[in-house]
Amino acid sequence: MSAYQNLEQMKGDFYTQKFEAGKQDGTLIINLGPQHPSTHGVLRVVVEVDGEYIVRAEPVLGYLHRMHEKMGETQTWGGYIPNMGRVDYGHAMAWNWAYVGAVEKLMGIEVPERAEYLRVIMTEFNRLTSHLLWWGAYILDLGAFTPILYAFEDREMILDILQRPTASRLTYSNFRVGGVQMDMDDKCIELIKAFIPHFRERLPMYRDLVTDNLILRRRIEGVGIMDQDMCRRYGCTGPVVRGAGIPYDLRKDEPYSVYDRFDFDIPTQDSACSAGRYHVRLDEMEQSMRIIEQALEQLDSAEGGHIIKKAPKPAMKPPVGEAYFAVEGGRGKIGVYVVSDGTKVPYRVKLRAPGFSNLSAFAEAATGTILADAIAILGSLDLIIPEIDR
């Protein structure tokens, strides 16, 4: 074997060599990421192109693997809570909730009503910040810079609200087993009441500025079709399935906490394309505000007034057993499964991340589209890479 043949065999890593095996004549294999700005964080996608058209695509995971699940088996039950904010920094509250909900279910702990309302308010505000971050970054991916400045201006106002009860602006860990760590003060309530009407005036401006823009519409309408059959095969959830016309939302379909006490709609679109997923997220921001308003009205009448009625000891030891709890996150269904062997450290922690399932459908959705459309499709999935690589 010649030295040249040896070099050919050594070309690329495992994934490149595996992908190269199916290469067609006249096509080119390229890497989309992990440094491309649209692959937020460190997502790598190996793509085979015939001219501008995508023949095959395969996401390659693992560049940001933080071993969150294994870390859950080396820390105390309470000590693992801050990890949740690192799994999905976009919607950390939802991950907090899924984990403490699983532990509460395992231990048979009932959460005070006031804490349930506080969890709803904070999680819905965090959903707004997640959607705003996605909206600004998505438009930036497609070439327009200005909208992200508007998105961050409103997002900063929400962070001012969330900072008061959580003492944090991104990787929140305010939820505790049995309730929440801190209540909302009068200033926080005042900021919430001022923000809602302000944001209701801003949302139409977002549509006027961006949504009806002809360039954006031609980049996303009819691009990246992920119909109902595809969504079911890959286990997609969140705005991805609702953009395909499936009104699946855990807050309605498997109600938890006090969500069944609120009047709100589940926005859907029938187009199943990137534009459908775009419109669903914008509509969901209005629905989150409706939930927050109702939760705020009912907050003072919540039974008891406690925020953490029976807090377990810091070194808690749940009984031997297992539990699963799921919530609706900004990207879809977040599930946490825990197993206890009766010690102060979890025996097993398993996380169900919506981004992983949603990204799995990308290869099929992108095949046959042009390379520029791959960016529009990836962005429409609203990926948070630590959630996928966990």
Res 303 pLDDT > 80? no
344/141 Cα distance (integer angstroms)? 45
1 or 205, greater pLDDT: 205
Q: What is the pTM of this model?
A: 0.93
**In the chain, pLDDT over 70 holds for what percent of residues?**
96
* In contact, 60 and 33? CB cutoff 8 Å: no
Cis peptide before 34 (omega within 30 of 0): yes
Q: How far is CA 122 from CA 35, 91, 161, 299, in A?
A: 33, 10, 9, 13
Three-state SS for 372? helix
Check residue 162 and give its pLDDT: 97
69 or 12, greater pLDDT: 69
Q: How far is CA 62 from CA 11, 223, 255, 269, in A?
A: 20, 27, 33, 33
Res 278 pLDDT > 70? yes
Pick the range with the lowest mean pLDDT from 12-16, 250-254, 273-277.
Answer: 12-16
24/15 Cα distance (integer angstroms)? 17
Check residue 11 and give its pLDDT: 62
Check residue 12 and give its pLDDT: 67
Dihedral class, residue 304 (left if φ above 0, else alpha if ψ from -120 to 50, else beta): left
Check residue 55 and give its pLDDT: 94
Check residue 57 and give its pLDDT: 92
Cβ within 8 Å of residue 364, ≥6 positions away:
230, 234
Q: What is the pLDDT of residues 363-376, one digit of tens each?
A: 999 999 999 999 99
Q: 261-292 burial, b if ≥16 CB within 10 A, otherwise e?
A: ebebebbbbebbbbbbbbbbbbbbbebbbebb
**What is the average per-residue pLDDT within 80-96?**
94
Return mean pLDDT, the chain.
Answer: 91
Integer Rg of the chain from CA: 22
Check residue 6 and give its pLDDT: 57
Q: What is the pLDDT of residues 286-298, one digit of tens each?
A: 999 999 999 999 9
Half-sphere exposure of 306 (CA within 13 A, CB side): 10
Res 180 pLDDT > 80? yes
Q: How many CB atoms lie within 10 A of CB 323?
A: 18
Res 235 pLDDT > 90? yes
* In contact, 53 and 369? CB cutoff 8 Å: yes
Check residue 302 and give its pLDDT: 84
Check residue 15 and give its pLDDT: 75
302/112 Cα distance (integer angstroms)? 8
User: In terms of DSSP bridges, do strands 28-32 and 321-329 run parallel, antiparallel, or are they unpaired?
Assistant: unpaired
Using the Cα atoms of residue 133, residue 135, residue 139 and residue 141 in order, give the sign of their dihedral: positive
Q: What is the pLDDT of residues 305-363, one digit of tens each?
A: 788 877 677 789 999 999 999 999 999 999 999 999 999 999 999 999 999 999 999 99
Residue 9's pLDDT band, with cuts at 50, 70 and 90, is low
**In the chain, pLDDT over 90 holds for what percent of residues?**
78
Q: What is the pLDDT of residues 20-66, one digit of tens each?
A: 777 888 889 988 877 777 777 788 899 999 999 999 999 988 887 88
Res 159 pLDDT > 90? yes
**What is the average per-residue pLDDT within 263-271?**
97
